């Protein structure tokens, strides 16, 4: 029987965490079949062994893809999604985990009741390497609806999303960026609207091995801009989508400069302005913007 939901799990060097990630999926209580698809990306620790043991324990509910080579984050993610056969796809990386056993049931029921919606997501908590709470979100029970073109201005936590299985191919620009979550959510904007559901369904883990957590604030800002630069250039997106990408680019460019200026981090302002060169504005434009923001603080 084909699963109603395929869960896409990308994992690499997650030997300490992947058991909790997999158990969070296997504890789901649903009225429909699910299948976890794991792409273990040739880790040099025991991640693969842990995945094999759990895949055997929960067979046939886990499909473990071959680790014949190191694919890298983007190619590994695309091969997992292409291996998902469910009507819907949920995502959870191997160092995060779900805490609500009815998470998938709630999200699928919402999408089944709203055929014009392509995805839904929910708030998440943030925890440390030992699963101790760092940031807690409150379940408010509210459903917030978003039009498709608003997707480019949203933060959608990867481990919270469930979307219709509609992404048949990934453009070449997808393999040049780091913020894969923003790119995927942008791609989904071509297939319908979305919603944020009012329950807390999982935990994002901050730990030293996380690639994003290793970045400085400056490099996090650069990564966000770099991703949207490639999205804006991609022929995958239609004119109206690219217009929203451009708006989000401009908003972030000025926001990041303002943040550094308020903190009196002028060197980072210069570094960021130089990084912006090559987009739609010249270096002089950014210097003027930065100076204008500074004198108005």
- The tens digit of pLDDT for each residue in 237-273 reads 999 999 999 999 999 989 999 999 999 998 888 888 8
The CATH classification of domain 5-213, taken from the options 3.40.250.10, 3.90.550.10, 3.30.2010.10, 3.40.50.150 = 3.90.550.10
Report the sign of the C-alpha dihedral through residues 15, 20, 21, 23, in that order.
positive
Closest CA to 169 of 92, 234, 40, 81: 81
pLDDT digits over 31-56, tens only? Answer: 999 999 999 999 999 999 999 999 99
Q: CA 106 to CA 220: how far, in whole Å?
A: 33
Peptide bond into 60 cis (omega under 30): yes
pLDDT of amino acid 281:
44
pLDDT of amino acid 212:
72
Q: CA 198 to CA 162: how far, in whole Å?
A: 14
**pLDDT at 277 exceeding the cut of 80:** no
Phi, psi of 219 (to 5 degrees): -70, -30
Reported as a pLDDT band with limits 50, 70 and 90, residue 133 is very high
Q: What percentage of the chain exceeds 90 in pLDDT? A: 84
Q: What percentage of the chain exceeds 70 in pLDDT? A: 93
Give the domain ranges of the chain.
5-213, 215-295
Segment 165-177 mean pLDDT: 97
Which of helix, strand or coil describes residue 98?
A: strand
Neighbours of 112 (CB within 10 A): 13
pLDDT of amino acid 278:
56
CA atoms within 13 A on the CB side of 163: 29
pLDDT digits over 182-223, tens only? Answer: 999 999 999 999 999 999 999 999 988 766 777 899 999 999
For the beta sheet containing 62-64, the strands, ordered from the edge strand earlier in sequence to the opposite edge, are: 62-64, 34-40, 5-11, 88-91, 162-164, 117-121, 193-196, 144-146
């Amino acid at each position: 029987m084909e699963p109603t939901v395929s869960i896409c799990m990308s994992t690499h060097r997650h030997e300490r965490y992947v058991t909790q990630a997999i158990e969070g999926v296997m504890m789901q209580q649903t009225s429909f079949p699910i299948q976890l698809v794991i792409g273990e990306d040739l880790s040099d620790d025991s991640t693969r062994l842990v995945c094999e043991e759990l895949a055997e324990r929960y067979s046939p509910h886990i499909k473990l893809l071959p680790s014949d080579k190191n694919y890298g984050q983007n190619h590994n993610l695309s091969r997992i999604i292409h291996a998902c056969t469910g009507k819907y796809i949920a995502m959870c990386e191997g160092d995060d985990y779900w805490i609500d056993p009815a998470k998938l049931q709630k999200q699928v029921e919402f999408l089944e009741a709203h055929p014009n919606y392509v995805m839904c997501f929910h708030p998440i908590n943030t925890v440390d390497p030992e699963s101790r709470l760092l940031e807690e979100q409150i379940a408010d029970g509210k459903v917030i609806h978003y039009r498709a073109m608003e997707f480019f201005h949203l933060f959608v936590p990867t481990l919270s999303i469930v979307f219709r299985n509609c992404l048949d191919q990934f453009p070449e620009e997808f393999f040049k960026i780091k913020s894969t979550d923003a790119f995927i959510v942008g791609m989904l904007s071509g297939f319908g609207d979305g919603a944020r559901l009012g329950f807390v369904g999982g935990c994002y883990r901050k730990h030293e091995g996380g690639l994003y957590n290793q970045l400085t604030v400056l490099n996090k800002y650069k990564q966000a801009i770099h991703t949207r630069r490639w999205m804006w250039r991609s022929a995958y997106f239609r004119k109206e989508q690219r217009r929203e990408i451009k708006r989000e680019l401009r908003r972030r460019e000025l926001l990041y400069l303002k943040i550094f200026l308020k903190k009196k981090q002028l060197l980072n302002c210069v570094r960021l302005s130089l990084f912006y060169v090559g987009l739609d504005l010249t270096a002089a434009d950014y210097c003027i913007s930065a100076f204008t923001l500074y004198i108005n603080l």
